[in-house]
Amino acid sequence: MLSFTTVRVVGPSMEPAVQNGQWWVVRKGAKLRQGDVVLLRHPERSELSVVKRLGHREGSGWWVLGDNPHESDDSRQFGAVPDKLIIGRLIFRYR
């Protein structure tokens, strides 16, 4: 069974592809590929969900990066993200 949720993006870390204030539909449990934009739990702040792009696999996790590196808190600061923290893949924008 497919499961979906929505997310409102806050902040400029994924601009220009994903912009501050946009709403996106997220497919939970989707098969992930390098380059996908995903919703994940921040590895150092479990109450915070963030949107990042999947880089490469590293061990049992993913290297995640913001498209706007000067405005992004990502794997350059906290390292690879375990698979269990990835909620799903952004599939389309709405609103």
Pairing relation of β-strands 37-41 and 61-65?
Answer: unpaired
Residue 1: per-residue pLDDT = 67
Q: What are 36-59's pLDDT values in tens digits?
A: 999 999 999 999 999 999 999 999
Q: What are 8-19's pLDDT values in tens digits?
A: 999 999 999 999
Strands (E), 1-95: 3-8, 23-28, 37-41, 49-58, 61-65, 81-82, 86-94
Which residue segment(s) compose the domain that 17 sits in?
3-94
pLDDT over 80 at 2, yes or no: no
Total number of domains in the chain:
1
- For residue 30, what is the domain's CATH number? 2.10.109.10
